[in-house]
Amino acid sequence: MLGLQGPAQGRDAGGGADASASTSARGKARPAIGPRDVEIRRTTDGIPHVRANGWRELGAGVGYVQAQDALCTLAEAFVTFEGRRSWFFGPDERPARHATFGRAKNLDLDFFFRGFADAAMTTRYRAEQPPELNALIDGFAAGYNRYLAEFRSDARARAHRTCAGAEWLREIGPDDVYRRLYAAQVAAGLARFIPEIVNAAPAGAARVSAAPGAIGDSGAGSRVIASAGTRGDAGRDVGDDTLQARLSRGIGDQAALGSNMLAFGGEATGEDQALLIGNPHWFWGGPDRFYQMHLTIPGRLDVAGVSFLGVPVVMIGFNDHVAWSHTVSAARRFGLFQLTLDPTDPTRLMRDGQSERMDAREVRVDVRGPRGEAGIVTRTLYRSRFGPVLDLGAHHAAFGWTRDTALAIRDANEQNFHAFRNFFLWNQATSLDDFIAIQRREAATPWVNTTAIGRGDGRVWFADIGPVPDVPDALRAACGTPLGAGFARLDPATPFLDGSRAACDWRESPGATRPGLMPAQAMPSLLRRDYVANMNDSYWLTNARAPLEGYPTVLGGERQALSLRGRLGHRMAAELMTADTRSTATLGRRLKHAALTPRAYSAELFKSELLDQACAAPTVEWTTEVPVVAAAPVPVASSASASASASASASASASATATATATESAPASTSTSTSASLSVPTRQRVDVASACEVLRRWDGRAEANDRGALLWDAFWDRLDALPAAALYRVPFASDRPLETPASPGKADGRVARALAEAVLALQAKGQAVDAPLARHREVDSGGRHLPIYGGCHAAGYFVVACNSDGSDRMGLDTSGNSYLQVVSFDAAGVQAFTLQASGQDERALVAGIGLAPVERYARKDWLPFPFHERDIARDPRLKRSVLSF
């Protein structure tokens, strides 16, 4: 039985409750809370501090505050994880926001979650958690439902939510939360190949069928809804992405996802104390964005930080004894097996000369068409002994399911039901040694590297310990196939083994948490007193003075070039570890400043010599082949081809020239059955004198008022698209990893042309070459315009602000700096400074509600996090409410 105490209380300007219970004035003694109560205190920027005496009550508080701030996002996510998107949003549509599982069509997502996040999975998930974590999850569902009930009866709250009248806004149960956790744990494996898994079928298999019976109240006349997402088309739903690009991304479908993390030990601070910064580059919108919170059970738990929406434990954060952060790991969390099929049946595979049947499971999805007509679509999902069969034939025919062969994927995280138990235990860690012991014992962090520090401890910890295939390089060499050799040219780290031989299975080593996974003692870790760092490169150069070597390729590789962002991170570490920073407090102040200084390392290293080449002449000229169409018969031209024709006849126009440049690599399309396409040489001529002057004056940073950052980013994007061997005159050398590759640009005119094309690209977008960054890279929400600093990963920015579509407006589709924390300890306990660039409230970036954290980030105003009771009590925006369960 749920009940409120006291009157409703409105939201403050910085975020908080739409409706909450009794509020005590700041400064008054806080009343004790009962055994079934939850205390929620909102401080500056709407950060919730949730306090209870029991685990279920604490979970209820978490579910309640997350629903207050992100009800619509959570509700849609629970529809996704239940596999019901096709019913509510249509089978051929896609989620509006990016997520760790990409943006596949709804029907494909439904088949995946119906087929994998089923009742058997949730039952096992619950069985493998400690009772306290299960109680948290039970409570989360209850708290979410509590807020939903209040929301439905509060006209004022409903007026400000886009999902207020949605039929998919429903109560949830614990299984919804377990499905949410599962979706996160398989993000680096199965979830990367959802269309390829749910559309995999042997040649000649039935594509789609109707299931008899009713859907809801539709009666027995339910039928299949025609859909471009049905099998046969959806398998080719790969857009213009290449398989190599897909494989290069550890998580999701956006290149900007990643993180920075550095930890400085006693040799850097001059004290027996360490300092840590966590700086994930993550989603600003969607179900996987971060949510900041502080959770307390007196005497048992006191932890703060962030989690994904729908997760009731802290995933990156700190307590009064430890602090930790993560970056996406370069290790592969899955492997592929090439199946040799039985010649008599393509759903049977040969294993040491014996034929064995795949598991074939029929999955049904309810769908609703554009006019409301109901139907059921069924597919058969196939699984081998290794894992599901997937069909990569839409990317390359050789990787498809043929009469002779097929591919199966084994995800090391599919059975990793300890992933969030690991976080739950970390939340309660009492020392750095305790934290390390938990990580080594559980070996369950799903797809991230970890850094950590401890109170009164001058050591810093790095580890890439979690589920990874136990595939030594010798096994890879002995069990390779010709097809696997071709795959290795696209992705040399992912194991691609012969599935027809038992000798080629993943190894089973002593000490592993599950058969086939690497044991913790065999995985990279480093305990230092100077520093550790990771910026999404492999473990190899965690510390420039102590490379980690001798590990198998599956862990990400060694002696290979770092990203420019990675090189800058190590440069920053060296700059910060100077003699004048011999205190934790001093180093912390310098670190906070450095972390938000948007240096373009590509410009720091290469601007001068690149401009010497690009600006040797005031104009750049080259010839490009522009497609045109024969005069007769007259075709019905698309807008793209019409623009190309215009550019051929009016190349003096900047916009036409930009179009001609673009069409060089993407021939225009026409609608005609008889005309032949021709290519006409067109001379391009671009004045770059002004651009050269702008870049010479530019200081190499992307601050809000900097002029030249937009131009440099467009210039570097074009250079970065070149192969390293074509761009750099000095190649990478493993004995000089922070200095190489170097000397970009060769005497072939490509550098000058890249600058000219950058000028044209800005002109096509209506941007001047000297436009200040603030005019274009900003958050525009609720009538407010907030300039955002930083740039994309490729140009070597440590401060990342990037959109996958290349646009400059920052919003729900941005990925970049998200949650930031700088944490240390002193005699009084943990001292933390935080920022939440994307805000707490789902409406912050679109309606200006709860915009205060975004404004704080824009002005670089680190928030001293009110962790201790004395700090919470004197917070100027404190509001308190109590819920009873």
CA distance 406 to 498: 11
Q: Are strands 334-342 and 496-498 parallel, antiparallel or unpaired?
A: parallel
Residues carrying an active site annotation? 259
CA distance 634 to 644: 15
DSSP 12: B
- β-sheet bridge partners, residue 778: 787
The helix, strand and coil proportions of the chain, stated in percent and rounded to the nearest 5, come to: 35, 25, 45
Q: Which of 423, 279, 401 is nearest to 336 (CA)?
A: 401
Query: Could you tell me if 139 and 60 are in contact, meaning their C-beta atoms sit under 8 angstroms apart?
Result: yes
3 state DSSP class of 799: coil
Query: Could you tell me if 644 and 626 are in contact, meaning their C-beta atoms sit under 8 angstroms apart?
Result: yes
Query: Could you tell me if 771 and 705 are in contact, meaning their C-beta atoms sit under 8 angstroms apart?
Result: no
Tokens of 643: 């623009």
| Complete DSSP assignment for 21-70 | S--PPTTSPPPP--TTEEEEEEEGGGEEEEEESSHHHHHHHHHHHHHHHH
- β-sheet bridge partners, residue 4: 883
The per-type count for the chain, helices as H runs and strands as E runs, is 26, 35
| Complete DSSP assignment for 741-785 | SEEE--TTSHHHHHHHHHHHHHHHTT--TT-BGGGTSEEEETTEE
Q: What are phi and psi of 376, to 5 degrees?
A: -125, 135
Query: Could you tell me if 595 and 704 are in contact, meaning their C-beta atoms sit under 8 angstroms apart?
Result: no
Q: How far is CA 245 from CA 188, 242, 490, 539, 556, in A?
A: 14, 5, 9, 21, 16
CB proximity list for 173: less than 8 A, separation 6 or greater: 141
Tokens of 128: 């493998």
Query: Could you tell me if 39 and 52 are in contact, meaning their C-beta atoms sit under 8 angstroms apart?
Result: yes
DSSP 787: E
Query: Could you tell me if 112 and 195 are in contact, meaning their C-beta atoms sit under 8 angstroms apart?
Result: no
Residue type, 507: R
Q: Cis omega before residue 633 (within 30°)?
A: yes
Q: Which of 338, 360, 311, 327 is nearest to 261 (CA)?
A: 327
CA distance 684 to 468: 51
DSSP 471: -
Query: Could you tell me if 208 and 399 are in contact, meaning their C-beta atoms sit under 8 angstroms apart?
Result: no
Query: Could you tell me if 820 and 323 are in contact, meaning their C-beta atoms sit under 8 angstroms apart?
Result: no
Q: Which of 328, 322, 301 is nearest to 312 (CA)?
A: 301
CA distance 58 to 42: 15
Angle subtended at Cα 120 by Cα 117 and Cα 123, rounded to the nearest 5 degrees: 100
3 state DSSP class of 326: strand
Helices 174-185 and 119-127 pack at an angle, to 10 degrees, of 90
Per the listing, tokens 């308190």 go with: 880
| Complete DSSP assignment for 208-251 | -BPPPS-STTS-TT--PPP-TTSTTTGGG--TT--HHHHHH-SS
C-beta atoms surrounding 334 within 10 Å: 24
Query: Could you tell me if 840 and 833 are in contact, meaning their C-beta atoms sit under 8 angstroms apart?
Result: no
